[in-house]
Each structure stands twice: as structure tokens, then as C-alpha cells.
Amino acid sequence: SREAIEQETLSSWSQLVVSGSYDHTIRAWDVESADQGGQCLSVMNHGDPVQALVVLPPTASYGRGKASKFDNLPLLVSAGGTTLKIWNPLNGSCLLTFRTMHAKTITSICLLDIPYDEAEDDDNEANRKKRHIMTASLDGLLRIHSISNEDIAAGSLPFLHGMQFSDPLSALAISQDMSRVAIGTTTGIVTVHQRRALLSKQQEVKERKEPRHGTYSYFMRGAHEKAHDPDDYLLLHQKKQKLAEYDSLLRKFRYGDALDKVLQQRQPQVVIAVIEELGKRRGLTIALSNRDEESLEAILSFTIRFIDDPKYSTYLIGVAHILCDIYGSLIGQSSVVDELFSKLRNKVANECSAQRMLLRMLGQIDFCMTTAEIESAEEKTSQSV
């Protein structure tokens, strides 16, 4: 009878075989009754297609802390949809229904069962090692929950840790010593993660001990530390980028000197960039003011050379206006400056003449195109009539 099976010894649980199906059902079989073709002990309904099953062995052999009513029972965990359910396979009763935070179907579950260390004399409940369960889902998440008998009795599986993968997860496997876990994805990639070695208390105290302040060891602490985990990130010290000389002058608000320095490089893109920055800072007028004949010749020559270039004309037209406003009253005092302003005027006049000619040509083209469209429309109208 079922009651007799529930009262058997702890060794009898290993004779159970459980099976899950996409028809939402889970069946527990007693393989000891092989002469009868196997006896079905219970039929359980998960409510979703069953993707994975894990048997939780009895935990009475660990024998630490408070006793639980589930210590002597083999428990069964089923995964279907985004839900985990814990069953008593002997009588088919559902002990816990737990909805995980997965967004898609759970594809695999794995038991991380670490026995208690009997060598340590520690009766503190918080320091006990508990068994965990790992769930993998098509949403790329691997989640680890505590699944001790105390958690099952409390009706919740506390979340402990999670990992996000870029691909959907399809399979989980863990080594016999519980130190390595293999994670398979739907793209065919298998990733293996290894658990860090547990340190003894003496080693932990030794590592936490810091060198005395003011010593060379204190100054050099952590300089030669190596990354223990392949997932750790190594932050490299980036060297401070050396600023160009005109950038340093701009930071010191020496706008005139910055413009003179960049004009010496004879790189129009850089000069225009500095002029644009001066315009944003409202320092272009300051940079062009209080210039002598030599410094004025440099900016005037640059303006004359590139004012008709479409890439730079937008900025240099404004420069030309400011130069005329500041130094227009000084015409006649320097033959060099007068000649440069005369060249600037002729360059602008020639460019304006060319622009007017192009506009007239554009108007003629538009007239021809419009006339051709009207005549074509009249021909179509006459043909239709």
C-alpha cells in the first residue's frame, strides 16, 4: 500500500523513477516491483508542459540544526513554463508552487547540493550551508535559489544570485564535486564556470590583514594583485592626453594668442575649428582686437585665401565683418594693411559677381524647364481633344 511505501527506510527512495511529459503530467514509479511491470505510485499535474525534473534526496543524513518534516522524504522539483513545483512523489501532493522571475520558459534545472562540513563546529543557523537550485531559461537568465527544507516549509525559495547571457539557455550540468557548472545555449555554445575555492578562516584573516600605515607595503598594497575570476574587469590607467598649445591657451582665456598659434600651423580645418570655438565663447572679437600690423596680416591673408571656399565661407564672412568694423578707421596708416583690405574687397566682389551670374543662369534654366512642362501639358490636352 502507499502508506507502507511512505514508511520504508531511507534507502528505498533510490528505487523511485520519475517521468515528466509535455502532457503536463508527472509520474512516479516503484521499480522494485519489476515482476509486476513496475508500480505507478502517483500521477501529478504540473499545469504546463514539463521541461525538467530534479529529485531532492532526503537530508536527514546531514543532521544539523532543527529537524524538518521533509528531512526523511525524497522530494521532486518540476519545471514547466516559468513555474517550479515541489512534490512528494510518494503520495503525489504538491508542497510548494513557486513562480520564478523568468520571462520565458524554464528549459533546465540543476541541484547544487553542498553537504554540511562536519569538521566545523558551528551550530549557528546562518552559517549552515544550504542546498541550492539553478534554473536556466530561454530569456538568457540563470537564477540560483535556496531550496532547503526550511525554505520549502516557509513557502518561498529565496533568490541568491543570477547571471545574464546573450543567448537563450537550453541545458545545465554540474560536476560531481559541485565545483563546475556547464551552461549550454541554443546557438551551440557551451560555457563552463568554476566555483572559487573556499578559504579557511585562518587564510581569510591573513588576507584581510592590512599593512601598517606609512610603510612601503601599505603604499604598494594591491599593485601586484591578480584577477582571480575570469569575469573580473581590469581597469587600465589611461595616460592624460597632452593638449595642443592653442588648446592650453584657450583654457587660459588667451584668445588672441590661441588664434595666432593656430594660424602658424597653416591647417585650415584646425583654424576654422578654433574660430568656431571662439565664436561659441563670444571671444572672437577679443581675439581679433588690439593687433599690430604683423599679427593682422596673418589673419587677413588667411581670410582672403579661404573666404570663397564653401566649407569655410560661413565662418570667414563673420571674421571679415569684424575686421572691417575694428580696423576700417585705420585705412591709410599702413600700406601693407591697405593692400590686404583691397585684396579682400576684390575677392568678395569677384565672388559676388560669380554668384549673381550663377543665379541668372539658374533663373534661365528654371524658365526653360517651366516652359517645356507647359508645352508638354498643352500637347497632351490637344491630343486628348
For residue range 100-148, list pLDDT tens digits in order: 889 999 999 998 876 555 444 444 443 445 788 999 999 999 999 988 8
Considering the chain, what is the average pLDDT of its residues?
Answer: 81
Residue appearing with cell numbers 534507502? 11
- pLDDT in the model for residue 255: 92
196 or 276: which leads in pLDDT: 276
DSSP state of 198: P
Q: Which residues are CB-neighbours of 138 under 8 A, at least 6 positions away?
A: 104, 105, 107, 168, 169, 170, 186
- pLDDT in the model for residue 359: 92
Spatial separation of the C-alpha atoms in residues 199 and 255, rounded to whole Å: 62
- pLDDT in the model for residue 63: 47
- pLDDT in the model for residue 13: 60
185 phi/psi in degrees, rounded to 5: -115, 165
Is it the case that residue 341 has pLDDT exceeding 50? yes
Q: What is the number of H-type helices and E-type strands within the chain?
A: 11, 14
Is it the case that residue 61 has pLDDT exceeding 50? no
- pLDDT in the model for residue 154: 85
- pLDDT in the model for residue 175: 87
Is it the case that residue 347 has pLDDT exceeding 50? yes
pLDDT band at 55 (very low <50, low <70, confident <90, very high): confident
3 or 315: which leads in pLDDT: 315
Spatial separation of the C-alpha atoms in residues 288 and 305, rounded to whole Å: 17
- pLDDT in the model for residue 131: 84
| Residue whose C-alpha is closest to residue 167's, from 192, 191, 193, 145 | 191
Question: Span 247-266, mean pLDDT?
Answer: 91
